[in-house]
Structure 1
Amino acid sequence: MKKENRVKKNKDFQEAFKKGKSFANRQFVVYLLKKEEQSHFRIGLSVSKKLGNAVKRVQIKRYIRQAFLELEEELRNEYDYVVIARKPAADMDFHEIKKSLMHVLKIARVLKK
């Protein structure tokens, strides 16, 4: 995932939390913020220290990024996605994380299929 496709600044996260819509299941909360001028979606990740040590948190982030990369063709490009991982995500492997994210994104109706 390229750097320009990531939400990095605190200001952008806060804007997504305040103005965006949230959708959730037991493992993830996804905030969506529509940005008409965007040609490619951006993704921001938040994984709390409560989920594990640094190694575990980075692993969860990598899994989420990879899931978004694999879903790239199906996702709408005009959104910023801010993903917050919840406690059950710490015990999941990549395929479970991808399935769970697809579930939240279907609830949010941002998958093109």
Structure 2
Amino acid sequence: MKKAFRIKKNEEFSKVFNEGKSVANRQFVLYALHKEGQNHFRIGLSVSKRIGNAVMRNRIKRAMREWFHQYEDKLLQDKDYVVIARNPTAEMDFFEMEKSLIHVSKKAGVLLKDNKR
């Protein structure tokens, strides 16, 4: 995922939290904010220190980035997304995370219907 497609600044995170809509399941919270005139979605990832050490948190973030990379053509493009990982993600492998992220993105209505692989 290119750095231009990531949300890094605290103000940008706050804007998505305050103005975007949120949907959650047991593993993830997904915030989505519509951005008029934006050609490609941007993502921000948050994994708390309560979930594990730096190795664990980075593994979870890599898996989330990979999921967004695999599903980038199936997601609505004119949005900013912030994903917060919850505690159960520490014990999950990539495929379980993938299933959970699909579930939460369908719940949010940001995953397009033709996601058969």
The TM-score, its normalising length taken from structure 2, stands at: 0.95
Distance, in Å, in 2 between the alignment partners of 1:55 and 1:10 is 23
Structure 1 runs of 4+ with >4 Å offset: none
Distance, in Å, in 1 between the alignment partners of 2:26 and 2:112 is 23
Partner of 1:112: 112
Partner of 2:96: 96
Partner of 1:66: 66
- Equivalent pairs counted in the alignment come to 113
Specify every segment of 5 or more residues in structure 1 that has no aligned partner in the other structure, as ranges.
none
Distance, in Å, in 2 between the alignment partners of 1:87 and 1:63 is 15
Partner of 1:51: 51
Partner of 2:6: 6
Distance, in Å, in 2 between the alignment partners of 1:22 and 1:14 is 13
1:79 aligns with 2:79: yes
Cα distance, 1:111 vs structure 2 = 1.1
Cα distance, 1:86 vs structure 2 = 0.2
3-state SS of 1:58 partner: helix
Cα distance, 1:14 vs structure 2 = 0.3
Partner of 1:42: 42
The TM-score, its normalising length taken from structure 1, stands at: 0.99
Identity, % of aligned positions: 60
Distance, in Å, in 1 between the alignment partners of 2:89 and 2:100 is 9
